[in-house]
Amino acid sequence: DADVTQTPRNRITKTGKRIMLECSQTKGHDRMYWYRQDPGLGLQLIYYSFDVKDINKGEISDGYSVSRQAQAKFSLSLESAIPNQTALYFCATSDTASHSEQFFGPGTRLTVL
């Protein structure tokens, strides 16, 4: 079984709809992240959480919100989706070591019409 899972894997929705993307991990890591990836751009950090009570905005948090329901679960919400939020979304986890790698989920491809 995958260590980091994301649901749904693909989603098509309409402008103005509320969407939730979910992420679960079995690695026991405290740190979790949400990124979006657009063609020709690097991964951009939306939100990150260093533990259940610690949530921080990343570089592109406008239009998004998150919830860390448990150590293993971190969800991303688009309160009112807009077309320029069409992208590939990745959840990632890492442990607390400063040089630790990030482990990514398989991604969610979101299309907002």
Partner 1 sequence: RKEVEQDPGPFNVPEGATVAFNCTYSNSASQSFFWYRQDCRKEPKLLMSVYSSGNEDGRFTAQLNRASQYISLLIRDSKLSDSATYLCVVKLYTGGFKTIFGAGTRLFVKA
Which residues sit at the interface with partner 1, rule CB under 8 A?
A: 35, 40-43, 45, 56, 88, 90, 98-99, 101-102, 104-107, 109
Q: How would DSSP label each residue in 27-53?
A: S--SEEEEEEE-TTS--EEEEEEEETT
As given in the structure block, the two tokens for residue 52 are 């259940």
Comparison of 15 and 100: residue with beta carbon closer to partner 1:
100
How far is Cα 54 from Cα 83, in angstroms, rounded to an integer? 30
Least distance to partner 1, CB of residue 72, Å: 18
Comparison of 64 and 90: residue with beta carbon closer to partner 1:
90
